[in-house]
Amino acid sequence: MVIDVNEIPKEGLHIDQDFDFVSLDLVEEDAVFLEPTHAVVEVKKVGSDVRVKGRITTRLSFVCSRCLRPFEYCVDSTFDLVYLPEELDEIKDEIEEEDLEKFFYYHQQLDLREIVLEQLNLSFPLRPLCSEECEGICPVCGELIHDGSCACEVKVSDPRLEKLKSFLRDKR
């Protein structure tokens, strides 16, 4: 969905729409969409700048990076961006930094689909986890560790603890 910057009305645009992206569009390799991506976006022109403010919601299936099981991940992410005309791209370094993130639009156009996809990708966690407490897979038997259900005795060494230990050893 391409927005012509010159055609944004004074009162702005209000867009409330579903976007169908495919998993290939995502940075997260094993993610699968469980529903379309819903975006509510306000597009407003302020002088030659375009402010794009919105909220993205969707549900995906991610693969936990510890236990490798799929789990449902809900996205509810907001963004507030300012797009400047391309002419300013060249003097980018001279533009003072403000709280709002700044981007550029080219040929008087803004591709809302692209913006929503980019913001969706940015909302993903670096390492998806089914839960913060996920204990992952036992390195001995390869079974899932659930509430300590695995019978193997695994000595997990904390690298920070090891460091402290060797530090104390050296002191002696």
The contact set with Zn ion (CB under 5 A) reads 64, 66-67, 130, 134, 138, 140-141, 150, 152
Smallest distance from Zn ion to CB 30, Å: 13
C-beta of residue 88 within 8 angstroms of C-beta of residue 95: yes
Chain position carrying tokens 């002696």: 172
Which pairs with CB-CB distance under 8 Å and at least 24 residues apart come from 21-28?
21/117, 21/120, 25/117, 26/120, 26/121, 26/124, 27/121, 27/124, 28/60, 28/62, 28/121, 28/124, 28/128
CB environment 31-52: b (16+ within 10 A), e (fewer): bebeeebbbebebbbeeebbeb
Smallest distance from Zn ion to CB 26, Å: 19
Smallest distance from Zn ion to CB 91, Å: 47
Q: Give the nearer residue to Zn ion in terms of CB position, either 81 or 134.
A: 134
Smallest distance from Zn ion to CB 75, Å: 18
CA–CA gap between residue 116 and residue 104 (Å, rounded): 15
C-beta of residue 69 within 8 angstroms of C-beta of residue 135: no
Instruction: Please tell me what DSSP assigns to residue 137.
Output: B
Smallest distance from Zn ion to CB 129, Å: 6
Q: Give the nearer residue to Zn ion in terms of CB position, either 25 or 135.
A: 135
Q: Give the nearer residue to Zn ion in terms of CB position, either 55 or 66.
A: 66
Q: Give the nearer residue to Zn ion in terms of CB position, either 122 or 141.
A: 141
Q: Give the nearer residue to Zn ion in terms of CB position, either 8 or 138.
A: 138
